[in-house]
Amino acid sequence: MTRRTKLTAAIGLAVVSSLAVGAALAFAVDPSGMKYPKLNEIQMPVVEKFTMANGMVVMLVEDHELPLIKMRALVRAGTIYEPRDSRGLTDLMSEAWRTGGTTARSGDDVDELLESMGSSVEGWVDATVATLTANSLVENFDKTLPVFADILTRPGFSEDKIELAKTHMRSVIARRNDEPMDILMREYPKLVYGADSPYARQYEYEDVNKLSRAQLLEFHGKYFHPGGTILGVCGDFDAAEMKAKLESVFAGWEAKAVNYPAIDQVDMTLTPSVNYIEKTDIEQCFILMGHMCMRLDDPDYPSFYVMSDILGGGWTSRIFKKVRTEKGLAYSAGGGLMSEYDHPGPFYTFSATKFSSTHEAISTMLDEIKRITESEVTDNELELAKNGYLNSFAFKFDSVDKILERLMVYQYYGYPDDFLQRTRAAIEKVTKQDILDVAKRRLHPDKMVILAVGDAGKFDKPLSTLGAVNTIDITIPEPKEAAPEASQESSDKAADIVSKVLKAVGGKDKVLAVKNISNAFKASVTTPGGDMVLDAKLVLAYPDRMRLDVVTPMGTMVQVLDRDKGWMSGPQGVMDLQASQAEELRKQIQFDQLSVLKALASGSAGAQYIGEIDLDGKKVHDVIVTMGDDAIAHLYVDPSDNMVVGNMRKMVTMEGPTDVTEAYSDFRDVNGIKMSFASVQRAGGKTISSTKVTEIKINPPLDAATFQKPQK
C-alpha cells in the first residue's frame, strides 16, 4: 500500500459516493416526523496495556467470538521523517517492506509460508506513521508471529523486490496525469500545504532512480525501535499467555534513543489563489477549492464539522442541492473538513461540471459558502447533520479490532482514550448560533484556494474574473541522460562518421529534401498472451505531424498528432490524446530514423563519438546525438558500410522510462535513399516488437483529411 493522505482519499471517495452518503444521512431524520430514541452507550472491551522492558507499548484485547488473532504495529516512522533529498523513500518502503522478506527468509519464502497457513502480513508507510498488520487463525499464530516480528524488526529489503517496487513507482508516475481526479488529489495538497511539505511531497523518475537498499536499511535502522512502537493484538487468546509470547519473540529488539528531526509547522496564513491545470482530453472541468483549517482536537471542530456537513456533506447539503438539484450543473458536488490528528487539515468543496458551466459552478459554491456565514442554518438542517453523525457513531465501534485500532491511534497521537465519545457529546450540544459563530470566524469565502482542471478555452467565463490565474505545469520530467563532456576529438570523430552516414544513405541534399514519408508494415508485438501480428500504416510529415493506423482484432485503432494537438479513434469512438500520449508521439517523430538524420544534416543536432559497442554480435560506432531540448539518442553505425544499424533512446512505457534499442536491417533503395525494411525493438534485454516493412513512399501527396479529427 502506498502513502495516501486522508485529504486525497476523502476527495476521491466523495466524488463517487456523495449520493450514497446523502442517502445514509437521510435516515438520520425520518421524513414522517418519527423520533428515534437515543442510542445506547458504547460498550468498550477490556484492554490490557503494558510496556515491555525494551519500551514497546502493548495493548491486548481478548475476543473469543472467532478463532482468529489480529495484530497491528504503529511505528513512529512516517514520511514526515523522510530526508528531503530522498523523495519517495517511504513509498518505496511501502512497496518493498513486506515483499522484500526478512534477513532469514526471502519474500517468496514468506509468501509461500503465509499462504500455506492462510495468514497474512501487510505493511505500509503513511505521512505520519508506519503500519504493519497480520491476520492469523489461532492454530497458526505461533508460526505467523515470528514472521510478523521479523518483518517489523529485521526486514530483508531484497534487491529484486526493490527493483520491482521501483518499476511500479515509475509506472505510477507515467500514468499520474491520465485521470483528472488523480491530478486534483495530487496538486491541491501542494497548494494548501506547500509543494515541499511531507503532506504533499511528490517524487519524480530521477528521485526513484536514486533510491537504494542502503537508504531503506538506514531509515529502518534509525526510526524502527521498540520505544517508538505501539503493538496491538486482538482475538481468541489468553492475555497472560499472549504477553509471554510477545515478550519472548521481541526480547532481542533492543531499545535505543532516537533524535527525531523537527517537523515544519503547517503555515496557517490563508492566501487566496486561482489555479488552473490544462487538460483538454476530458469532457468536464474538475474543481476543488477551500483553505487550511484545523486539527481534530481544535475546540471549534464539533461546530465546524456540523457546519461543513450542512454545507457539503451529501445530497441534502446546500452545495449538492444548489449545484446539482436546482441548477443541474454537475452530477456530484459537495465538500467537507479533513482535519488530522497531528497537523491541520483543509476545509474543501468540489464539483465536476461541463466546461461551459465552470465559472457558474465555482460562483455557486462560493455563494453557498458565503451564505452560511451570514445567517443561521435551519432547525431541520441542524438536526439532519447532527443525527447523521450520531447515528453513524455506532459503526465506529462495531468490531473489537476496530475499537482497539482506534485506541492505538489515540495512544500514538497523544489523544485521550475517550476522545471520540467527547467529540460525540460536543456535537450533540452544537446549536445554530454555534454554527454561525464558527462559520464567521473560521470559514473564509474571500480566501479560497481554487483549482480547476480542464480546457479553459471552453469555459463560460475566464478564470481571471475570479482573480489572477496561476497556471500549473504538470509535465512529467523525464530523467536526463547527461551527454559526456564534449571534446574536440570526440566531436571531430562524430562529424566524420555523420558525414559518411549521410553519404551512405543517399546524400545530405536528398535527406533534407524529405518532407513526409509513409510506410506500410506488419508488426509482431510481444504481449503477456503471446505475440500478436498487426497490420499498420504510418504517415510522418516532418517535423510535427504523424498518423498511425493499426488493424487489431478489436478493430482499427488510429493515433494522430497534428502539431500541438492529438486524437485517437477506435471502436469506442474518437477522443483527444492524453498529454503523455501526445508527448510520446512527438518523440516518435523526433527520434524517427530520417528525422535524426535530417537534424544532423541541417546542423540542428549535435553529435559526439563515445566509442564502440556490441550490437547483435557486431562492433558498431556509438554516436550520441543531442537535439533541441537536450533530447538524446544513441546512433549505432556499422563502420563497414557507414549505415545506421540501430539506435537507443528512453521511451515512456507503462512501467516508466525505459532504454529501448532498435536494430535495423534489410536496407533498400527508395527514391535514392537507403531505408531499413526490418527492425527489432528490445527493452531490458527482451524483444518487445519486430517490424517488416512492405512499402515505403517518400514525399507522397497527402490528403488534407489525413490529420483531421473526425466528428464524434
d(CA 93, CA 183): 23
Query: Taking a C-beta distance cutoff of 8 angstroms, is the pair 375, 436 a contact?
Result: yes
The reply to whether 273-398+416-471 shares the fold of 42-177+203-249 is yes
d(CA 475, CA 579): 8
Query: Taking a C-beta distance cutoff of 8 angstroms, is the pair 107, 42 a contact?
Result: no
Sign of CA dihedral 358, 360, 363, 369: negative
- Going edge to edge, which strands form the sheet with 130-137? 48-51, 57-62, 229-235, 68-75, 130-137, 120-125
DSSP-derived letter for residue 377 is: P
Query: Beta strand 130-137 with 284-294: parallel, antiparallel or unpaired?
Result: unpaired
What topology is assigned to 273-398+416-471 in CATH?
Answer: Cytochrome Bc1 Complex; Chain A, domain 1 (3.30.830)
Q: What is the SS3 string spanning 85-106?
A: HHCCHHHHHHHHCCCCCECCCC
| DSSP string computed for 268-293 | -----EEEEEE--SSSEEEEEEEEEE
Sign of CA dihedral 343, 349, 355, 359: negative
Q: Which residues of the chain have pLDDT under 50?
A: 1-5, 13-32
Query: Counting beta carbons within 10 angstroms of the beta carbon of residue 393, is it exposed (0 to 12), middle (13 to 18) or buried (19 or more)?
Result: middle
**Does domain 42-177+203-249 bear CATH number 3.30.830.10?**
yes
DSSP, collapsed to helix, strand or coil, labels residue 317 as coil
Query: Taking a C-beta distance cutoff of 8 angstroms, is the pair 303, 315 a contact?
Result: no
pLDDT for residue 645: 96
Percentage helix, strand, coil, to 5, in the chain? Answer: 40, 30, 30
Per-residue pLDDT of 109-125, as tens digits, reads 999 999 999 999 999 99
Query: Taking a C-beta distance cutoff of 8 angstroms, is the pair 348, 340 a contact?
Result: no
Q: Which residue has the cell 554480435?
A: 617
d(CA 543, CA 212): 40
| DSSP string computed for 413-472 | HT--TTHHHHHHHHHHT--HHHHHHHHHHH--GGG-EEEEEE-GGG-SS-GGGGS-EEEP
Q: Where are the beta strands (DSSP E) in 202-245?
A: 229-235
Query: Counting beta carbons within 10 angstroms of the beta carbon of residue 658, is it exposed (0 to 12), middle (13 to 18) or buried (19 or more)?
Result: middle
Per-residue pLDDT of 539-585, as tens digits, reads 999 999 999 999 988 889 999 999 888 899 988 788 888 777 888 88
Q: Which residues contact 63 (CB under 8 A, 6 or more apart)?
A: 45, 234, 235, 236, 400, 401
What topology is assigned to 488-698 in CATH?
Answer: outer membrane lipoprotein receptor (LolB), chain A (2.50.20)
* 543 prior amide bond cis, ω within 30: yes
Q: What is the SS3 string spanning 160-175?
A: HHHHHHHHHHHHHHHH
Query: Beta strand 57-62 with 229-235: parallel, antiparallel or unpaired?
Result: parallel
pTM: predicted TM-score of the whole model, two decimal places: 0.80
Query: Taking a C-beta distance cutoff of 8 angstroms, is the pair 313, 388 a contact?
Result: yes
> What residues does each domain of the chain span?
42-177+203-249, 273-398+416-471, 488-698
Rounded to the nearest angstrom, the gap between the alpha carbon of residue 102 and the centroid of all alpha carbons in its chain is 28
- CA distances to 278, 293, 572 from 175, in Å: 16, 31, 21
pLDDT for residue 23: 36
DSSP-derived letter for residue 351 is: E
Query: Counting beta carbons within 10 angstroms of the beta carbon of residue 299, is it exposed (0 to 12), middle (13 to 18) or buried (19 or more)?
Result: exposed
Q: Which residue has the cell 531505408?
A: 675
Query: Beta strand 68-75 with 57-62: parallel, antiparallel or unpaired?
Result: unpaired
pLDDT for residue 528: 72
Query: Taking a C-beta distance cutoff of 8 angstroms, is the pair 19, 315 a contact?
Result: yes
Crossing angle of the two packed helices 213-223 and 159-175, in degrees rounded to 10: 100
pLDDT for residue 45: 85
Residue type, 38: K
List helix spans (H) across 278-418.
301-312, 318-320, 358-371, 379-392, 400-413
d(CA 302, CA 435): 9
d(CA 524, CA 114): 40
Half-sphere exposure of 88 (CA within 13 A, CB side): 22
